[in-house]
Amino acid sequence: MFLKPYFAFAKKSFLGRSAYRFDHFMSILNTCLQIFIFWGIYQALYGGRSEVDGITMTMVSTSFILSMGLKAVFYVDDYFLPSKVWDGSIANEFLRPVSFRGRMLAENIGNAIFNVIFHFLPALLISVLLIGICPPESAGMTVCFLFSTILGYGVLWTISFAVQAAAFWAINIWSLATLKDVLINIFSGTMIPLWFMPEWIYEALKITPFPYIYFTPVQIYLGQLSYTEIAQQCMLQLIWILLIYLLGTLLFKKGQKKLVVQGG
């Protein structure tokens, strides 16, 4: 079976994460602390008002609870490829009878599934009990939310892949990976829901991939988009996945041709 090796990589990644139980509790605690800190900040900003510009405090709470929960799920190792370039083991990886990019994706998916079960759901339950969130607009919107969430993960993964491919040229991609994280945190709606952005900034962000990672799924969950608009947004997510993946593939293939391994 063609996909069998990739299922094995995903399973190995999932089981490997289960060995560090203390880390799971700390990850849940970290996610909850971030949620409560942002909840406290927005409570102060709202100053007892029920809504600001039509955006209720419950909508804001729902936005950052879902965004930060998904951020914990969407964790991608930006140094998977670079670490193998640095130590020279990338040469052995290219000799495997499986796609290196497929392996990267499979291991990341294994991590994501683990994070859904052991990080996102516990943090979501705690947040719902202590803060509360808006219920899904409808069963149909819930299905669309889940589908858009998967596409949002695809956008994030392809961005990470393109950044990692730069390791063939850069000695250290830390600065590039950090810049990527900063842009995503600010412009994806994780830290600041994009409702509060100036209109011209919000419109400019629509031509970038960042809002389609977290903010689009949140909008769908809250029922702010019609089914026609959801179809358009999902199509844009697919387009960004394709475009960024093609960019990453171009960098990856050109990097393979110029790769010189010292040691390893």
pLDDT tens string 235-264:
999 999 999 999 999 999 888 887 765 544
User: What's the pTM?
Assistant: 0.91
* Residue 189 contacts residue 67 (beta carbons within 8 Å): yes
Write the DSSP string, 221-233: HTT-S-HHHHHHH
- Rounded Cα gap, residues 45 and 169, in angstroms: 45
**What contacts 226, CB < 8 A, 6 or more positions away?**
none
pLDDT given at position 247? 95
pLDDT given at position 220? 95
pLDDT given at position 262? 52
- Rounded Cα gap, residues 243 and 247, in angstroms: 6
Tell which wins on pLDDT, 19 or 195. 195
Give the least confident one: 12-21, 92-101, 147-156, 197-206. Answer: 12-21
**What's the mean pLDDT in 148-159?**
96
Q: What is the tens place of the pLDDT at every residue in 93-134?
A: 888 888 888 989 999 999 999 888 888 888 889 888 888 888
DSSP H helices, the chain, are 4-17, 21-46, 57-73, 80-87, 90-93, 100-115, 121-130, 139-165, 174-187, 199-205, 215-221, 227-258
pLDDT given at position 205? 93
- Rounded Cα gap, residues 174 and 157, in angstroms: 17
- Return the domain boundaries, the chain: 4-258
pLDDT given at position 35? 86
